[in-house]
Amino acid sequence: MKRRDFLKVSAAGAAATAVASPAIAQSAPEVKWRLTSSFPKSLDTIYGGAEYLAKQVAEMTDNKFQIQVFQAGEIVPGLQALDATSKGTVEMCHTVSYYYVGKDPTYAIFSAVPFGLNARQQNSWLYQGGGMELANEFYKKNANAIAFPCGNTGTQMGGWFRKEIKTVADLSGLKFRIGGIAGQVLQKLGVVPQQLAGGDIYPSLEKGTIDAAEWVGPYDDEKLGFAKVAKYYYYPGWWEGGPTVHAFANLDKWNELPKSYQTILTNAAVHTNSWMAARYDMLNPAALKRLVASGTQLRPFTNEVLEACLKATNELWAEISAKNAEFKKVIDAMQAYRSDQYLWWQVAEYTYDSFMIRSRTRG
């Protein structure tokens, strides 16, 4: 989908919503799709995004367009959601693009990469800065799919560790469950990255199969019980400054939809994208308080560790770019956008936030 077409569809959303029910009730077809999630149903935030998407689509079409949501493992394992969509096993999935870096590292950039964009910047790049056009050009060619931003967790936590991480040397030999391309960065510093679906993390930590694991943030991490099996909770998750969760549709099935349904689904995804970010911002503060009150040891990554990880990240981008022209095109575009965003961010956003953080406990 070209950028002007995507924006045209998005801009038409309010009008489509207003007229959808009468028009659809008279003439639109009944459509039933299946959507497989990469997440367990117990996570009402990130899994809940897919349910919220489906609910909106149904309501805006008088239940003529229905999307049935399945949790990870009901149809396919969580990390195979996009494969199932690409092949047409299901019409849709709700997943994170960086799960598929084994196919091509470019997948990661449209969701989150180490030291990438924060949530607002990510949305700005995707919706207004050409990111969606690059993304759907790539997904069309490589996955027979079209994607829509459909959730964002905000900056994630750095994960749960059995021991303190004070220096770069403390990372050596660490078996760390970490998603996406960040594992390749940490591998340069001696970490042994592990890729596990969300439901497999707790038993792996409990048994000692892994030494550390990251997932999302306080609310989801609390629900999954990680504090029971690892003591130290680190921040920030520098590999996920603002990860986009995508709704992918099989491109052939998407092209079969009436234009009104395409408009409705597109705008339902935009709404879900905002809904998820707002929900995490609402739920995380109280969850963090509960975790700390129950004994969790909150720790920041040291500057030594962060600087080493940034250096390793830049080295990895250069290595991949030298042999993958598509990755280079997209990472260069994202980094240029990031540079301008942080030029602006340091003027107003950062200054305001920093002052308010310092002032929080005064009044």
- pLDDT higher than 50, residue 30: yes
Determine the straight-line distance between the first and last CA of the chain, rounded to whole angstroms: 50
User: pLDDT class for 363, splitting at 50, 70, 90?
Assistant: low
Q: Residue 335 has what pLDDT?
A: 98
Q: Residue 26 has what pLDDT?
A: 62
HSE (CB half, 13 Å, CA atoms) of 111?
28
Mean pLDDT of 78-105: 96
Q: Residue 15 has what pLDDT?
A: 42
Mean pLDDT of 93-114: 96
pLDDT tens digits, residue range 115-147? 999 999 999 999 999 999 999 999 999 999 999
Q: Residue 179 has what pLDDT?
A: 74
- pLDDT higher than 90, residue 5: no
Q: Residue 219 has what pLDDT?
A: 97
User: pLDDT class for 249, splitting at 50, 70, 90?
Assistant: very high
Query: Cα 88 vs. chain centroid, distance in angstroms?
Result: 23
pLDDT tens digits, residue range 188-243? 999 999 988 777 899 999 999 999 999 999 999 999 999 999 999 999 999 999 99
- pLDDT higher than 70, residue 153: yes
- Calculate the average pLDDT of the chain: 93
How is residue 323 written in tokens? 């042999």
User: pLDDT class for 321, splitting at 50, 70, 90?
Assistant: very high
Mean pLDDT of 160-173: 96
- Tell me the C-alpha distance between 183 and 149, whole Å: 23
Of 208 and 362, the structure prediction assigns the larger pLDDT to 208
Topology of the domain comprising 3-152+241-282? D-Maltodextrin-Binding Protein; domain 2 (3.40.190)
- pLDDT higher than 50, residue 14: no
3-class secondary structure per residue, the chain = CCHHHHHHHHHCHHHHHHHHHHHHHHHCCCEEEEEEECCCCCCCCHHHHHHHHHHHHHHHCCCCEEEEEECCCCCCCHHHHHHHHHHCCCCEEEECHHHHCCCCCHHHHCCCCCCCCCHHHHHHHHHHCCHHHHHHHHHHHHHCEEEEEEEECCCCCCEEECCCCCCHHHHCCCEEECCCCHHHHHHCCCCEEECCCHHHHHHHHHHCCCCEECCCCHHHHHHHCHHHCCCEEEECCCCCCCCEEEEEEEHHHHHHCCHHHHHHHHHHHHHHHHHHHHHHHHHHHHHHHHHHHCCCEEEECCHHHHHHHHHHHHHHHHHHHHHCHHHHHHHHHHHHHHHHHHHHHCCCHHHHHHHHHHHCCCC
- pLDDT higher than 50, residue 349: yes
Q: Residue 211 has what pLDDT?
A: 96
Of 13 and 33, the structure prediction assigns the larger pLDDT to 33
- pLDDT higher than 60, residue 7: no
